[in-house]
Amino acid sequence: MEIKGGERLDDTGFSGIKVIQGDGFSYGVDSVLLAAWAAGQLGAPAARKLKGGREMRIMDLGTGNGVIPLILSHKIPECSICGVEFRPESVDRAVRSAELNSLQGRLEFVEDDVGLLLKNRPEMAGTFDSVVTNPPYFKAGAGMAPPEQWRRSARWETTADLGDFIRCAGGLLKDKGNFYMVHRPFRMADIICEMREAGLEPKTLRLVVPRDSEAPNILLIHGVKNGGPELKVLPSLAVHSGNGYTEELLEIYRT
């Protein structure tokens, strides 16, 4: 498998699965937390095998280099995953990573804009059992965006915004399908409003803190398409303890 100039091959820490990364961008703990959240390891209902043995279909919106589908392929073996990304160089890396790990039969990556996906590919509407997403966190024009395009598109809303991601998820999901997202607490009010507008009822919420007693800096939320109103708020999750990860974080990497 070709590794191009400026790229590197990194071990995800999950069952020997490796990911091709480049542009100076590396996936972070957010991606690992989202995969564990969808797999039912952090308190949200798990995206699991369906009745009758039918393989579950999962969509990852804004997949980047495909690291979340790669990790989910380990954590949820009985699924196929499609990742959507608008940067062609990232799609290319995701496709090559799937081939490198002999997962091309389960993972598919398509180049498209989340805001236009259902218009461009109407056949996808209502066909997914679960949708996961780690979208850009900051509104366009907010704060000091970096000059590098790849860095801006990873964390700032350059094309599709928060509402686009959530509406797209609502359109892709089957009735009672599951939605899983990682974001930032300062967007919580926007997230909940957008989810309800899209028919995704917020069902489970967990805030993530760097260390116990510190303010949360990550938000994990789970919703159900056309679900009933009742939001369960879980105890906060601490990432670090002492000089390393907490036991709950370490357990994510063990399974």
pLDDT band at 137 (very low <50, low <70, confident <90, very high): confident
Long-range contacts at 98-103 (CB < 8 A, ≥ 24 apart): 98/66, 98/69, 98/70, 99/1, 100/1, 100/9, 100/18, 100/20, 101/17, 101/18, 101/70, 101/73, 103/17, 103/70, 103/73
The span from the CA of 15 to the CA of 17, in Å, is: 6
Check if the beta carbon of residue 98 is closer than 8 Å to that of residue 104.
yes
Q: Could you report the per-residue pLDDT of 231-241, keeping only the tens digit for each?
A: 999 999 999 99
Q: Has residue 250 got a pLDDT over 70?
A: yes
- Beta-carbon neighbour count of residue 106 at 10 Å? 17
Q: If you classify domain 28-254 with CATH, what class do you get?
A: alpha beta
Which tens digits make up the pLDDT trace of 28-81? 999 999 999 999 999 999 987 566 667 899 999 999 999 999 999 999 988 999
CA distance 169 to 167: 5
> How many whole angstroms separate alpha carbon 231 and alpha carbon 134?
21
Tell whether the model's pLDDT for residue 16 goes beyond 50: yes
pLDDT (0 to 100) of residue 141 = 55
Banded pLDDT at 152 (limits 50, 70, 90):
very low
| 42 phi, psi to nearest 5 deg | -120, 15
CA separation for the pair 114, 117 (Å, rounded): 5
pLDDT at 154 over 60: no
Which of the two residues, 115 and 159, has the higher pLDDT score? Answer: 115
Task: Give the pLDDT confidence of 170-218 residue by residue, as tens digits.
Answer: 999 999 999 999 999 999 999 999 999 999 999 999 999 999 999 999 9
Residue ranges covered by each domain of the chain: 28-254
Give the mean pLDDT of 3-26: 88
pLDDT of residue 22: 87
Q: Which residue has the higher pLDDT, 142 or 10?
A: 10
Burial of 158 (0-12, 13-18, 19+ CB in 10 A): middle
